[in-house]
Amino acid sequence: MARDKEFIPEEKIAKALDVFWEKGYNATSMQDLVDAMQINRSSLYNSFGDKHNLFLECLRTYGYLAAQDFESVLKLKDLTPLETLEKIIDVYVTGTIYDCKCCMGMKSSFELAGDDEEVRRIIKTTSDRTIGLFTDLLQRAKEQGEITEDKNPAVLAHIIFNGFCGWKQSFIQFKDASLIKEMAAYTKKHLRN
């Protein structure tokens, strides 16, 4: 039997990620993955293990890429901590409006995380990283007087993070970009008051 040509695992993971992202875990068949990844079944098993292991790798990759979007804003110069967080909110709003796929983390939370401890752990690790970033920015904003003393940075970070999930869901349902922008503006305004 002819062997597959050598391949770059990251490229195959990206293709599998797209399938899982679109269809979800349960609706994705091994044949869907073989077709998308353009490798034979034995190469898939030899390289990535079973469907579940491949999904976990895709979920880790998704979390890493999502975090990179937010962390890239940290490289911008001359922004205060609160301005940095506001810019992250803007990045998320743009992504929500122009990439109307459901958040893979949200989709996986509802589909699997209740029963699959490993999926829950990966999603929580990714969420903790983002919430930690938001908390740090808000704590520094508080120290610099950008937000009032009575505000709890950790609670605000969770509110913003969960707002992101709601904005994504709202856009998928209503396809109203102006509504998402207005919710983001409302959030930013109330951080400063």
- At a CB cut-off of 8 Å and minimum separation 6, what does 167 contact? 92, 93, 96, 180, 183, 184
User: Confidence class of residue 127 from pLDDT cuts 50, 70 and 90?
Assistant: very high
Total-model pTM: 0.91
Q: What is the dihedral of CA 101, 127, 147, 191, to 10 degrees?
A: 30
How sure is the predictor about 147, in pLDDT bands with cuts at 50, 70 and 90?
very high
Give the separation between CA 191 and CA 193, rounded to whole angstroms. 6
Whole-angstrom CA distances from 168 to 133, 174, 183 are: 20, 10, 11
Mean pLDDT of 77-91: 97
Q: Rounded to an integer, what is the distance from CA 146 to the centroid of its chain?
A: 27
Q: Is the pLDDT of residue 101 over 80?
A: no
